[in-house]
Amino acid sequence: MASLNTAPSKPDATPAATAAPRRRRRLDLHERPELILVPAVFVVVVLAWQFLTVPLGIKEYVLPRPTQILDAFVAQLGSPAFWSNVRVTVTEALTGFVIAAVGAILVGTFVAQVRVVERTVMPYVVAIQTIPKVAIAPLMVVWFGFGAESKIIMAAVIAFFPVLVNVIAGLKSADADKVEMLTSFGASKFQIFRMVRLPSALPFIFAGLDIGVVFSILGAIVGEFIGAKEGLGYQLLQANYNFDIPGLFAVLLALSVLGIVAHLIVRYANRRIVFWNSGDRGGAH
């Protein structure tokens, strides 16, 4: 009689395969409760805002309901004028941010590397930082006119100092033992800068860039408040003059989205470039 081939069948791997992702999700939620808390708080606030404004007697022209703001925002998305204003503000803010970032990195590197320059320049940096940057917006208009130049310069001025302070703090945070070791092996100043100081400074630099990119949007809006014929700041003023409060909130929502997108882009670049950093090390904000 022919023998039967009774090779053991492979066990079903489906339960184990599905259990691992479930355990991973439970672990993520346990270690990162903000994944639930952040959207939960948003939902609670929006629902309270939506359903309590009328019982509390808050007029719609004072605080419109979220549904009204959403309708105004959707209407804005279908308006060519809105997208033209977005393009203007983004161009001004992005150009100002690039100028501020490049200038702050160059100046900060020079200041941090030369002790005499640091002692000479830092008192002026501190003094200029104490000046409210928004207060000099009318001066920017006087100097550079009502065109895009004044808004770009305003965005660059506001974004410059957070990046500068973080660049200086980052370059000065380099491990002194590593610097001394490389110096004893005959490394040049450029080699020490490239192998020790710059890697130590990158988390600080990206912390400054994260702040600066949001501040550049603020600078562009402030410049448009002072004098402009286009841009989201100009659209905010128009909505205010026309007493279009839902439209005003819709523009604020658009600005919030722009800020979040800019923040996420910088954070993504930070993770890709400073891949060795765990993310818990901050700069000198």
Residue 55 CB coordination number (10 Å):
7
Per residue in 61-96, pLDDT (tens digit) is 788 888 888 988 998 888 899 999 999 999 999 999
pLDDT (mean) for 213-231: 88
Q: Element (H or E) spanning 127, and its range?
A: helix 115-129
Say yes or no to pLDDT of 31 above 50: yes
Say yes or no to pLDDT of 236 above 80: yes
Burial of 25 (0-12, 13-18, 19+ CB in 10 A): exposed
58 backbone dihedrals φ, ψ, rounded to 5°: -85, 125
- Residue 257 is predicted with a pLDDT of 92
Measure the CA–CA gap between 233 and 85, rounded to whole angstroms: 9
Residue 125 CB coordination number (10 Å):
17
Are 258 and 205 spatial neighbours (Cβ–Cβ below 8 Å)?
no
Task: Give which of 231, 249, 218 is closest to 137, Cα–Cα.
Answer: 218
Residues 6+ apart with CB under 8 A from 281: 203
Residues 6+ apart with CB under 8 A from 28: 35
In this structure, which amino acid lies at residue 23? R
pLDDT (mean) for 261-268: 92
- Residue 264 is predicted with a pLDDT of 93
- Residue 25 is predicted with a pLDDT of 56
- Token pair, residue 82, equals 């809105």
Per residue in 185-206, pLDDT (tens digit) is 777 777 777 777 778 888 888 9
Say yes or no to pLDDT of 232 above 70: yes
> How sure is the predictor about 281, in pLDDT bands with cuts at 50, 70 and 90?
very low
Measure the CA–CA gap between 177 and 170, rounded to whole angstroms: 16
In this structure, which amino acid lies at residue 280? D
277 or 157, which is more confident: 157
Are 171 and 201 spatial neighbours (Cβ–Cβ below 8 Å)?
yes
User: Where do the domains of the chain lie, and which CATH numbers do they carry?
Assistant: 66-273 (1.10.3720.10)
